[in-house]
Chain A
Amino acid sequence: KAGVTQTPRYLIKTRGQQVTLSCSPISGHRSVSWYQQTPGQGLQFLFEYFSETQRNKGNFPGRFSGRQFSNSRSEMNVSTLELGDSALYLCASSSTGQGGNEQFFGPGTRLTVL
């Protein structure tokens, strides 16, 4: 079974631009979660989608948004990029979306905002 894939792996953007990151979960997994990892704030939960519905949301501004498609693939969008948005963005999928289930992580997308 293929693992979680994220594209692109690396991105360089400038302040004010917007960016879209993509995540393909493991086949059959319906829950996709997104996390931001920075040296200062560590790993922080962004949001979770299950069957195309956002079920949980972290404490991030509205510039961060996401969606999930019928095939469970997910995208997250960051508008009006700020320098502080530079981070590793990790996507994780799980089968049933129950909290006790293991979340499988992708390799991440490293975003640099100049």
Chain B
Amino acid sequence: AQKITQTQPGMFVQEKEAVTLDCTYDTSDPSYGLFWYKQPSSGEMIFLIYQGSYDQQNATEGRYSLNFQKARKSANLVISASQLGDSAMYFCAMSLLPAQKLVFGQGTRLTINP
């Protein structure tokens, strides 16, 4: 069975600092995808970044990068130069490819202080 663990219920960071949100996963399947989503207080889930299990390089999307360490089964999200608008819940998720079913972690509430 798949499992996603996010060990940081909440994080407080100063504006413009970099922040790392932790995510570890558990699966015995070799083919999977890892996702990060942002959920502002409005409730809508916003896709941030994707990493496939066979991807050799870490994924990057603008200020977001995914630190993928396959042997450690970790997929941490790094946000560079944080902004006030980054305050939200962040969810790590996994799907066993090619299925479309996402399994989510419990989330990390990130608060950016001015």
Contact = CB atoms under 8 A, between A and B. Distances in A.
Interface of A: 31, 33, 35, 42-45, 48, 50, 55-56, 58, 88, 90, 92, 94, 97-108, 110
Interface of B: 32-33, 35, 37, 42-47, 50, 52, 91, 93, 95-107
B101 A58 contact: yes
A44 B106 CA distance: 10
B104 A33 contact: no
Given A97-B100, A99-B98, A108 B106 contact: no
Q: Rank and list the top 9 A-B pairs by shortest CB-CB distance, nearest first.
A: A105-B45, A43-B104, A99-B97, A99-B95, A100-B33, A99-B98, A107-B44, A56-B101, A48-B100
Contacts of B32: 99
Contacts of B91: 43
Given A100-B52, A103-B47, A42 B100 contact: no
Contacts of B102: 33, 35, 43, 45, 92, 103
Contacts of A90: 43, 45
A97 B106 CA distance: 24
Contacts of A44: 104
Contacts of A97: 100
A92 B45 contact: yes
Nearest to A94: B100
